[in-house]
Structure 1
Amino acid sequence: MTKKPNILYIMADQHRADYLACAGHPTLKTPNLDRLAAQGVRFSQAYVQAPVCGGSRMCSYTGRYAFSHGAYYNNYPLRIDEKTIGDYLRPEGYRVALVGKTHMRPDMETCERLGLDPESADGVLMRQCGFEPVERDDGLHPDQLVDPNLAYNRYLKEQGYEGDNPWHEYANAAEGENGELLSGWFLRNARRPARVKEEHSETAYMTDRAMDFIRETPDRPWCLHLSYIKPHWPYMAPAPYHSMYGPEDILEANRTHDEKADCNPVLAAFMQHEESLNFSKEEVRKTVIPTYMGLISQLDHHLGRMRRFLEEIGQAENTIILYTSDHGDYLGDHWLGEKDLFHDEIMQVPMIVYDPRPQANETRGRTIDDFVEAIDLAPSFLDWSGGEAQPHRLEGRSIAPLLQDRKPDDWRSAVFADSCFALRDARKDLGLEPDGARAFMVRTSHWKYMRFENQPPVLYDLQNDPKELKDLGGSNAHAGVRAEMDGLLFDWMRKRKLRTTVSDAELERRTGGAKSRGIYFGVW
């Protein structure tokens, strides 16, 4: 590979790290992801920096912690001055595009204040998180929010699916015994097949659109963010994937009754959310999780299609493939549903990287256990593109040395995350003001520490309690550990990259140069 590599950046939505055959799941079938890991590298300790879609993705796209960019949660606008992957790669000659989801809300208030036309070329990039939107689709289209111009709905209508919103009525709905519509928004319908044919489903369609983009970009390096909507809810899979797994194939829930009996107030409040109460029921888990697994196997199938396509058009040997997720899914573990908190079921994600270049040969087939963070992706892409590093702004680190068996001596020994749950009912139930719903996490190889404003902390001893079942946040014997974890968080906060407009190299150039510019201060 002598020219700049293409980068296929694949993200699934809500795919847990332990739901891969190559990660040890005993019944789930993921042959194409397993093959990708066998030919590349699987990172077993990959962590996201926020426990929800929007916040996590903004960290991945900017290479910065939520603490720095401020877009902690879904629909928190990303500031217009934040650079994203496209801003780093376009100057290197790349076409940087999106097919699928970003969950990004643009900073329209600042856009209007500055007089930036949102329909201009720069305005479109600002609205689409720095990506050229080949097809933006966040996969949330209930009848009251449906976009009449949604491309996927137009496509479904062209295939003969009738109605105003075939996304809901076919792709995310089933049919009852008497022909009635059964919405995928209701968990009880998850075991039924979606009304859409598999080849017309969201996962198949987005794969096709990604292939269209690649065909249209034959003579220029590209970075394509293929961002799948599934296995995120609505948990609705087309045949045959709806019935590929049964209740006998699911993992036992990771929870104990002691967790509920002696529970941190924040966790207890989230346990009272409707999704948590429902996923605490075995009937719900046995209905939903087999479909969740089927959606992952369907996605795996289409990744196999994509790889065969790259081989057929001669781009396989010039394309780095990275597969990951934005967060996991509780699925009833810890008596919780959805996400929002910091257990490994949410924060740990799959990350598989296949670099076809010879310099990555040393690590092929390895599982690397060093900590990596989602904010490492943007600096890695910049590194692969041949661009100059920007350490004054990017808070992640390139993983390229790990792929080449050249781990730096100062590689991280902890991972960090922060979030805001001001929009959740738990905040009101706890009597907190919006500014009081801040949450932080630090995880080392030994400890997991969650710190909440105005609420007790959570502490897990991962060496003796790897499943995070016994909270030591109130243990007198572990006060010293909690103080140490607070120290790690304070040290992390002090090191955020907030001087983003002046590079380190510029400061080095200007240091001590006042006299040369005719500025004399304190001279006798």
Structure 2
Amino acid sequence: METVRNILFVMCDQLRWDYLSCYGHPTLQTPNIDALAQRGVRFERAYVQSPVCGPSRMSYYTGRYVASHRAYWNFVPLPVGELTLGDYLRTRGMRVALAGKTHMVADRPGMERLGMTHESPGAVLLEECGFEPFDRDDGIHPGLFGKRVETPYCEYLRSKGYEGDNPWHDYANSAEGPNGEILSGWKMRHASKPARVSEEHSETPYMIDRAMAFIREQGDAPWCLHLSLIKPHWPYMAPAPYNDMYGPEHVKPAARTLDEREQPHPVVGAFMHHDESVSFARDEVRETVIPTYMGLVKQIDDHLGRLFAFLRETGRDQDTMIVFTSDHGDYLGDHWLGEKELFHDASSRVPLIVVDPRPEADATRGTVERRLVEAIDLLPTFLDAAGVEIPGHIVEGRSLQPLLHGATGVTWRDAVFSEFDYSFRSRTRTLLGRSLDGCRCFMVFDGRWKYIHYDGFAPQLFDLAADPDELNDLGRDAQHAGVRAEMHERLFDWLRHRTLRQTAPARFVERWTEVSEKGGILLGDW
């Protein structure tokens, strides 16, 4: 089988699985992403390994569960010894680059222990999660307001006449008041207003342009580009005309019940006290923010259409594997919650579309795959496509290639797993009286039953066959004690069988006796 020449790995930030027309959204039309699905396979049940930006992305990039790579929350460094996508693909002569966001934080103590400074050869790859940073854009932390920000995107905005210390905030993510004042996008009440930046200079078209610039630059050399778009993640601020393409009449009703709010699970109830949850519990907020969220998704689809047309014009659509996905979802008021982090489908389930250009994938084009897949499956899929041996003693995901090629008799997984540590959420941790080490929770989903284990609290259980919106928690229902016990054991079985021999391939272990005897280790010899 021929290998794939190039890989385009597209990720949106905080895009819900059900906010695309090919996934059934009733009013939001995304024809370019839909067309991509017609060229490949749309995976109906894809789940991330943690519904938070940082740990989710580190699982995508390493092919490993969070408990294995240990970057368990935002701003927690990925240990310096973890191998990532670029480490594998560069062995095939691929240029592996980033245009957009990673949420990567470098393991500075680990680098210093190895004698690596910022200026050391190869240090940039350790600092950037194995990607060459063609153009990194993680947004701007509010703590930098008042300081001059010199990211490539801010410099680009200044070159277009948007002056100031922080044009990312003051123009791309803020609106303008009646007296010319800046209305910050961090205040969701301004979400329906147009951003102060022209549409062609906003973040999504800028990064699409940068992706095309990178592809042009490669000529005939093979490449892997991670195009990681920063939207529709907050600040919920869109440029005209996308800020008012949709209105309250286009907003789907919230999936929530009064019983969820009045008798919540303790952990879920604590998250309901977060500012974003209190706000999204109000219809006024949902009807202001969600139309803009939809506009941001529509803008992504329009500009991906430009990118896909560019690939066709240059012939790169014939030799490039294209993947479209998200790092997690967004509650948007479902279950009386905002943000992400917990395990309802609104948060932990993501869209996933894979286009394999090879003839072997022709039979599955335009199909929908309902088998359970995980975010960690993408890295081994890329390695398979590029002809790189998958190190099974390190990578915990499974290559999707058999599913893409319609292979028969494939033994596939019967459950997916996700995990989360809310210790960084001090308000929740304090409210619940938990120690730093007592805030872990785990999810296992077998296609029907979703079981969630919490340290120190009763579990949750949902029957998605009868209750697809996850409104009826069976975690304390006596009639389902047997199901809970079975799912708890399945979770424990997964924890027992994670990959633990990262430095010893199977062939080394299998040959150990032979190797030791040849090396003169003669145990018990008379």
Structure 1 residue identity aligned to 2:517: K
Aligned-pair distance for 1:311?
Answer: 1.6
Aligned-pair distance for 1:493?
Answer: 0.5
* Aligned counterparts, 1:133-212, within 5 A: 133-142=133-142, 144=144, 148-212=149-213
Structure 2 residue identity aligned to 1:43: F
* Aligned counterparts, 1:478-493, within 5 A: 478-493=480-495
For residue 449 of structure 1, the aligned residue among 440, 451, 463 is 451
Distance 1:180 1:143, change over 3 A: farther
Distance 1:407 1:225, change over 3 A: farther
Aligned to 1:75: 75
Aligned-pair distance for 1:143?
Answer: 6.2
Aligned to 2:392: 391
Distance 1:203 1:408, change over 3 A: farther
Aligned to 1:497: 499
Q: Distance in 1 between matches of 2:164 and 2:521?
A: 72
Aligned to 2:275: 274
Aligned-pair distance for 1:2?
Answer: 5.3
Alpha carbons 2:324, 2:352 under 8 Å: kept: yes
Aligned to 2:462: 460
Q: Greater shift after overlay, 117-126 or 181-190?
A: 117-126
Alpha carbons 1:141, 1:167 under 8 Å: kept: no
Distance 1:407 1:157, change over 3 A: farther
Aligned to 1:292: 293
Structure 2 residue identity aligned to 1:72: Y
Aligned to 2:441: 439
Any idea what the Cα deviations from partners look like across 1:435-482, whole Å, max 9, x if unmatched? 001110001112111111111111111121111001111112212111
Aligned to 1:474: 476
Q: Distance in 1 between matches of 2:148 and 2:503?
A: 38
Alpha carbons 2:3, 2:386 under 8 Å: kept: no
Q: Distance in 1 between matches of 2:26 and 2:170?
A: 34
Aligned to 1:351: 352
* Aligned counterparts, 1:57-68, within 5 A: 57-68=57-68
Q: Distance in 2 between matches of 1:494 and 1:288?
A: 43
Q: Distance in 2 between matches of 1:439 and 1:212?
A: 42
Alpha carbons 1:448, 1:459 under 8 Å: kept: yes
Q: Distance in 1 between matches of 2:22 and 2:120?
A: 45
Any idea what the Cα deviations from partners look like across 1:265-285, whole Å, max 9, x if unmatched? 000000111100100000000
SS of the residue corresponding to residue 111 of structure 1 reads: helix
Structure 2 residue identity aligned to 1:163: G
The count of aligned residue pairs is: 524
Q: Greater shift after overlay, 457-466 or 402-411?
A: 402-411
Aligned to 2:339: 338
Q: Distance in 1 between matches of 2:505 and 2:2?
A: 30
Q: Distance in 2 between matches of 1:140 and 1:325?
A: 20
Alpha carbons 2:140, 2:169 under 8 Å: kept: no
Q: Greater shift after overlay, 507-516 or 291-300?
A: 507-516
Q: Distance in 2 between matches of 1:332 and 1:81?
A: 39
Q: Distance in 1 between matches of 2:76 and 2:167?
A: 29
Q: Distance in 1 between matches of 2:148 and 2:3?
A: 41
Q: Distance in 2 between matches of 1:515 and 1:162?
A: 71
TM-score (norm 1): 0.98
Q: Greater shift after overlay, 161-170 or 405-414?
A: 405-414
Q: Distance in 2 between matches of 1:221 and 1:143?
A: 39
Aligned-pair distance for 1:132?
Answer: 0.4
Aligned-pair distance for 1:147?
Answer: 5.8
Q: Distance in 1 between matches of 2:100 and 2:409?
A: 35
* Aligned counterparts, 1:36-115, within 5 A: 36-115=36-115
Alpha carbons 2:49, 2:56 under 8 Å: kept: yes
Q: Distance in 2 between matches of 1:3 and 1:63?
A: 20
Q: Distance in 1 between matches of 2:514 and 2:165?
A: 67
SS of the residue corresponding to residue 231 of structure 2 reads: strand
Structure 2 residue identity aligned to 1:20: L
Alpha carbons 1:97, 1:134 under 8 Å: kept: yes
Q: Distance in 1 between matches of 2:119 and 2:371?
A: 43
User: Structure 1 stretches of 5 or more lacking a match?
Assistant: none
Aligned-pair distance for 1:521?
Answer: 1.3
Aligned to 2:374: 373
Aligned to 2:402: 401
User: Structure 2 stretches of 5 or more lacking a match?
Assistant: none
Aligned-pair distance for 1:338?
Answer: 0.2
Q: Distance in 1 between matches of 2:310 and 2:390?
A: 32
Q: Distance in 2 between matches of 1:407 and 1:509?
A: 33
Q: Distance in 1 between matches of 2:409 and 2:249?
A: 44
Aligned-pair distance for 1:261?
Answer: 1.9
Aligned to 1:14: 14
Aligned to 2:415: 414
